[in-house]
Structure 1
Amino acid sequence: MTLNVLAGDMAHLPDSMSIAGIGVVSGYGWGREFLWQGLMGGKPAARLYPGYGRGRDQHAWVGRIPDGGDPAFGTGLFGRAVHAAATEAIADGQARGWRSEGRTVGLVHAFTLGDVADWRDFYRRDDGHRRSRDYLRMLPSTPISVVMQEFGFHGPAMNVSAACSSGNVGLLTAKMWRDAGLVDDVLCVTTDLSATPDMLEHFVAVGAAIADSDPFTACRPFQEGTLGFTMAEASVALLLTDAVELAYARVLGGAMTNDAFHVVSVDPTHAQIIACVERALANAGIDAADVAYYNAHGTGTRQCDGAERDVMATVFDDRPAIAALKPLTGHCQGACAAIEVAAIALSYERGIAASAPIVAPAHPRLLDGPTPMLDGPTLKLSMGMGGNNAAVVLARV
């Protein structure tokens, strides 16, 4: 292994945190086991929904979160989903021996647009008028404040946003807090419920999302004939701590860069994406040859596929196995990295690497559905609009 050399002459192997609790609300249902069963069954979370398209009489393939959750935590699904994911992750950690008493616990919430549906209704249905208590529920600070109050956490609490790399950015923010001595533990929650007809319309218009084809026809990362992604939703919570022995996986390190190239398109040189991956490996204290799995951003768009094939060839010499999940989970936008990190953590615990089935001629290292888990770290890359790149390195406990 390599050591990451910091400023001065001191060589330091970065500290790490463990994922000790997982909570998931997704297109598969309310709970992490619904996600796992969906991944193992190889069935996409998306289904055909009516009311999409300009005439609102069209159908579209979307991985929407089904109705559910406790109405006490929001008139819409956003606040309910945040609360459900958070409480499931905390309960999971407690079942593994985690206790918050005497510890400084922070909460970082990563998201993109917030409660899209409820804000839309606020203006269109309520004409900007609503009871103050219902209005306050829509503010980005409210869902995390509710969780902090319910569990008596007193560490820092904030929202971060970095487009579709937000999940990885949330994890790295949590790790920076711990490395800086601000917290003992962090609850990292990532939420995106923006798969509404008006949002999907514009993702289709820019050539990224595919609405009228089933997920396996549309989204084929690292395979021939890929068209783009199926839009989806999720809220995912990860409890990060080193205070339990029976954790899922360790977060060894990571890095973030920005292309500084275009608000949507990927820099065709891929220089900053490659730099992000290389810096993440250095920060984690490992070499590219140590990595067993490359968990792809895998949107299935032409630009993303080209960039990630370049990363695999340039950084890894096409050695690691490639896992791609978006044909199954859909592209959960700001929550996509988090739901894939949750899948990685569950894969380490259960000894099965999750990946979508291959449906067309593919990269030789792409996994064809669930396979027995190999030893070795996983590098998880995410890329977001605005040139936001973020990579994290995870490993078995």
Structure 2
Amino acid sequence: MDKAKLNEGMKKYTMVIALLFVAMFFTWQTGGKLLLPQNVSNLIAQNAYVFVLATGMLLCILTGGNIDLSVGSVVCFVGAVGAKLMESMGVNPVIAILIMLVIGTLIGAWQGFWIAFVRVPPFIVTLAGMLIFRGLSNVVLNGQTESITSGGFVKIFGGGANCYIPDIFGIEGFNLTSMLIGIITCVIYIAIQVAGRRNRIRKGYATDSLKSMIVKTIIICAVVLAFTYKISMYRGIPTALIWVVIVVLIYGYITSKTTTGRYFYAVGGNEKATKLSGINTDKVYFLAYCNMGLLAALAGMLTIARMTSAQPTYGQNYEMDAIGACFIGGASAYGGIGTVPGVIVGAVLMGVINLGMSIMGVDANYQRVVKGLVLLGAVIFDVLNKKSNK
């Protein structure tokens, strides 16, 4: 029994274990530079778009292994429109933000219509979108760079040196406010775990052992505290992280606690059975791609804020980073399996690999080779796991 539980636990936390070993390897190879406070902070700031896009991509993948190849181009197009609105046309940044979100959602709805109601394969629709919106990005920007001078926009979406939560205590060299936020986060998490366990026991639901819950809680809190301690030694919590946390919390709740979230898993598990049970599967597909467009717009804002400019080349290969993070994080290539926390682990793993190789000075071409091999390995693991279960 214990051996069976151990095997089950190993399968469940394979990517977490892999992330730990990869982080240890690059820490060793870089002489500890990977874990310098500035590099830990940069890991979040530079990969914020991956966390956001991968969360949206997960919903598409859940519906049956479908993907969205257009997200990188949509990121670029929405960012280009936003930059033009704010800089060339003098539109208020708040209005520009709303317009960008609406444009992203409309793009998602347009692609979702063909996929959900006309049943054009997602690969074809989003491939066309990739070409269309990359071309429109060049048209909007006239092939040139549009600089972002709106300090408020840049600060809110995490670009520049001052885009961190300020320390109200004013301690030099350590952001105590950020550290306290990490401690409060752990306290809230512990309270939620205890309350949730009591609620499940009261209702007669199956629960993990108390020992298992305590170990899991200790590990997660230790990671959170170690992370916040590191970034507090640099400048504190970057504002980009706030957007990532908001997206993760919202979509983590939707996918695990709501009926709508269960529909995505049901469609990916068996679409015909789901349709026969009375669920409108067309609407599920449509919602997945509408949502992807919305999150692509948010990723576009994070991108142009970090770069403080918009360029026709932004967003290239973003779709591959998002797809890779999903599959590495445990999403099934067949659909119906995957979680938001798993996707975040996958995104962090990709970020650690990118950052570690960059610090080591590995050629960019070899970095692509490694990322490709990691993605292939994750999918092969999923396929073999499916066969062994059968």
- Structure in which a larger fraction of residues adopt helix: 2
TM-score by length of 1: 0.29
Structure showing greater Rg: 2
